[in-house]
Amino acid sequence: MGKGSGQREVKPGDSLRAGIEGAPIEPGDRMSPGIQFEEPLIFERSRTGRRGFVLGQGDWDVDDVDPAAELGGGLFRDEPAELPEVSEPEVVRHFTRLSQWNYSIDAGFYPLGSCTMKYNPKINEATARMAGFAQLHPYMPDQWCQGALELLWRLERILCEVAGLPACSLQPAAGAQGELAGLMCIRAYHQSRGDTQRTRIIVPDSAHGTNPASAAFNGFSVVEVASNADGTLDPAAVEAVMDETVAGLMITNPNTLGIFEKEIEAICEVVHRGGGKVYMDGANMNAILGKARPGDFGIDVMHFNVHKTFSTPHGGGGPGGGPICVSDDLEPFLPVPRIERSEGEDGPVYRRDFDGHPQSVGKVKAFWGNFLVYVRAYTYLREYGSDLPGISERAVLNANYMRARLSDTYNVAYPGRCMHEVVFDDSSFRDFGVSTMDVAKRLIDFGFHPPTIYFPLNVDGALMVEPTETESLRAIDEFVEAMETIHAEAEHSPQLLEAAPQNAFRNRLDETTAARRPILTYRQLREER
């Protein structure tokens, strides 16, 4: 569309922050290649006959190969797969351009509360790319993998020390799977004692959504307990629902409101006295590393999110890591394989033990596809060494600095000192007709990824921010200033927020339609080309 349609041409050098500093760049403005462009789907770039790679002619001819004979009966397609036909430069340029649309922790501040998006140190990436680690194959025998197995064994010992619990399994591939495996151990423990009537799990109302899902997947029903006025769990509330049908309690500490559960030891005593076990969601361990050990205040099993706590890459569907640490009486039920160490003639020998633990809940995933995630976590832990408390100190300091800076503008859901994250609500701008979603969308115009919104569920209009320890004072101040500007806009120019984002490549989408009628696969057009 040209200038005749009332649109202006945006030239390279024009600021994409123009919505803040001047006239905003409108969605229909024609962008020069130096700024933004529309990227078609790879299928839309496809042209019949284009090839990205052609096998060279050597001592054999590809035309002499019978694919059906090579593959065997039933494995050869009757028709070619409907894949795009593009050249190598087109493939490279297409995915490079798409990558430039992404916002990542390497691009800027990522203040997702609860998700703990901290910077991933590049020394971890270099270690994970070492040939001895990166080129391992899951079918290699143990004697060829001694270095890798030793790393896993040593990582288990470190995690046990951090958790204050005696045994560990690195098998779970994500935090949610760690929850699943931990509850499997609790269920197996009760069943081994013939205590089959314990079919319920207590879950606070501030819990992560995966907590009740993991309980249900294990065949447990969920008993929800409300937090008290200060956002924490009251031992009396747990006592009121605790009986011989309760298998255990799931709790996050610090909790999802960013508050430390001060009564955690008393809560654990209530559950233990009733014959249950206490599972701790380790999502927020970043706040208490080296300061408090969950095992010391009565936790029986917990998982770590290595992407949140130990800086491994986050998101993308995996592979991830959700190792669990357990108490002595739950140790027999840990998943297999277990990493075992023994003394050989030439020193320690490490092996994967699949058969030596008859009460194990079994495998929870195949192979060690997430091994390099654990290499990164181990590197991070060895790099920090005894300075783990410093991580928590800086994370808590950053969160409280942000809370103090913004508390005059935004309402803090639970006033007072927080831990690693702070939860605001929408009460300070609701009267202007502005929603939490509007604030989040407007932050995109300022170049920031929005924080977590509408979670936790027990805070209306929640806006949860976690700066982590890796952000500088300057970065936090810039975010605070953007938040203050947005609040002023909510009062004086709410239409700016309602139309946001204006400077992003995509404007506000119809999320209801996208959720209810999603198009998840490309529908190839049948047309002559």
Of 250, 265, 347, whose CA–CA distance to 302 is shortest? 250
Q: Is 466 exposed, middle or buried (0-12, 13-18, 19+ CB in 10 A)?
A: buried
| Cβ atoms 409, 483 nearer than 8 A | yes
Buried b (16+ CB within 10 A) or exposed e, 425-434: bbebbeebeb
| Cβ atoms 500, 438 nearer than 8 A | yes
| Cβ atoms 217, 266 nearer than 8 A | no
| Residue 32 tokens, joined | 């020069």
Please report how the helices 371-384 and 146-163 are oriented relative to each other, as an axis angle in degrees rounded to 10: 60
Run of H or E including 326: strand 324-326
Q: What is the pLDDT, as a whole number, of residue 348?
A: 96
φ/ψ region of 483 (left if φ > 0, alpha if ψ in -120 to 50, else beta) reads alpha
- Rounded CA-CA distance 381/383 in Å is 5
Of 87, 17, 3, 330, whose CA–CA distance to 186 is shortest? 330
Q: Which residues lie across from 74 on neighbouring strands?
A: none
Residues whose CB is less than 8 angstroms from the CB of residue 280 and which lie 6 or more positions away in sequence, other chains included: 250, 251, 252, 253, 294, 299, 301, 302
| Residue 495 tokens, joined | 């239409």
Q: What is the pLDDT, as a whole number, of residue 507?
A: 86
φ/ψ region of 523 (left if φ > 0, alpha if ψ in -120 to 50, else beta) reads beta
DSSP string, 153-196: HHHHHHHHHHHT-SEEE----SHHHHHHHHHHHHHHHHHHTT-T
- Rounded CA-CA distance 312/395 in Å is 17
| Cβ atoms 230, 181 nearer than 8 A | no
Measuring CA to CA, how many Å separate 15 from each of 21, 34, 99, 220, 244? Answer: 8, 11, 20, 54, 64
| Residue 293 tokens, joined | 């050990």
pLDDT in tens, 116-168: 999 999 999 999 999 999 999 989 999 999 999 999 999 999 999 999 999 99
- Rounded CA-CA distance 350/348 in Å is 7
Domains of the chain: 166-310+322-369 (3.40.640.10), 388-515 (3.90.1150.10)
- Rounded CA-CA distance 142/123 in Å is 27
pLDDT in tens, 260-312: 999 999 999 999 999 999 999 999 999 999 999 999 999 999 999 999 999 99
Q: What is the pLDDT, as a whole number, of residue 79?
A: 82
Provide the pairing of β-strand 463-465 with 338-344.
Answer: unpaired
Where the chain has pLDDT below 70, the residues are: 1-37, 55-70, 73, 315-318, 524-529
- Rounded CA-CA distance 527/43 in Å is 13
DSSP 3-state assignment of 112? strand
- Rounded CA-CA distance 510/426 in Å is 22
Residues whose CB is less than 8 angstroms from the CB of residue 59 and which lie 6 or more positions away in sequence, other chains included: none
Q: Which residues lie across from 452 on neighbouring strands?
A: 464
Q: What is the pLDDT, as a whole number, of residue 477?
A: 97
Q: What is the pLDDT, as a whole number, of residue 17?
A: 39
DSSP string, 46-105: --TT--S-----SSS-GGG--HHHHH-TT-S-SS--------HHHHHHHHHHHHTT---T
DSSP string, 26-42: PTTSEEPTTT------H
